[in-house]
Amino acid sequence: MYEEQSNEEAKFAKTLDKLQALAQNSDGRLRNEEWITQEKSRAHNKKVMGYSQQTASIFERYYEKAIKEGLFPENE
């Protein structure tokens, strides 16, 4: 169920997994990973960001923080 995200519980668990990864990487590790662009990150998280407005809002806060702190490569 988890991988297929076939029910609301599985979708919620997948969302938390992706959010945790973004939150952990927003502490500065993105800066060291030149291959992680904002575009690639957003594409990777697009599906789970669409599950709810609240979820999208939380992801956006982390993206805003990463952009403000210059964590994504500048040559995007």
52 SS3 class:
coil
Task: Parse the chain into domains and list their residue ranges.
Answer: 8-68
Tell whether the model's pLDDT for residue 20 goes beyond 80. yes
CB atoms within 10 A of CB 49: 21
Tell whether the model's pLDDT for residue 68 goes beyond 80. yes
Tell whether the model's pLDDT for residue 48 goes beyond 80. yes
Percent of the residues in the chain that have a pLDDT greater than 70, as a whole number: 83
